[in-house]
């Protein structure tokens, strides 16, 4: 039962991720949300399923999915929020050299103020 719910939540988040990559969708996901009790017990499995689904969908030509940190982070944030876990989407940049290719952008999810992975990127200004 838990496995089926995780599969459903992960696939639903992966399928909805392109719809959230808009100005208003990203603005909403960048707003911090508190943890809701009780949090469902399966968000980590559902996050892995959503990332795997995005990798598969990105291989299909003419579909709007891309296997990038932005799509994976949007799906992860959707899964965590639907599971009652407080989180926010962060967008940031870092310098990777000189010239036009000297700036690298990255998207990640923060849970309770800590990023889910270490990275050298500086977050962009939070929306007001």
Mean pLDDT computed over 53-57: 85
Q: Per 3-state DSSP, what percentage of the chain is helix, strand, and coil (rounded to 5)?
A: 45, 15, 35
Q: In the prediction, which pLDDT does 97 show?
A: 63
The label of the residue with tokens 């990275």 reads 119
Q: In the prediction, which pLDDT does 121 show?
A: 60
Please determine, for residue 120, whether its predicted confidence score (pLDDT) is greater than 70: no
Please determine, for residue 128, whether its predicted confidence score (pLDDT) is greater than 50: no
Mean pLDDT computed over 67-76: 87
**What ranges do the domains of the chain cover?**
2-123
Mean pLDDT computed over 25-51: 78
Please determine, for residue 47, whether its predicted confidence score (pLDDT) is greater than 80: yes
Taking the model in full, what pTM does it have?
0.76
d(CA 86, CA 45): 17
């Amino acid at each position: 039962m838990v496995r089926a719910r995780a599969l459903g939540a992960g696939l639903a988040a992966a399928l909805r991720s392109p719809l959230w990559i808009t100005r208003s969708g990203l603005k909403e996901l960048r707003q911090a949300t508190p943890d809701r009790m009780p949090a469902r017990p399966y968000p980590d499995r559902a996050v892995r399923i959503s990332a795997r689904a995005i990798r598969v969908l990105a291989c299909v030509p003419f579909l709007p999915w891309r296997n990038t940190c932005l799509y994976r982070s949007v799906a992860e944030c959707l899964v965590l929020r639907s599971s009652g876990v407080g989180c926010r989407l962060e967008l940031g940049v870092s310098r990777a050299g000189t010239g036009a290719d000297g700036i690298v952008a990255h998207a990640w999810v923060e849970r309770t103020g800590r990023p889910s992975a270490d990275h050298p990127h500086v977050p962009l200004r939070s929306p007001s």
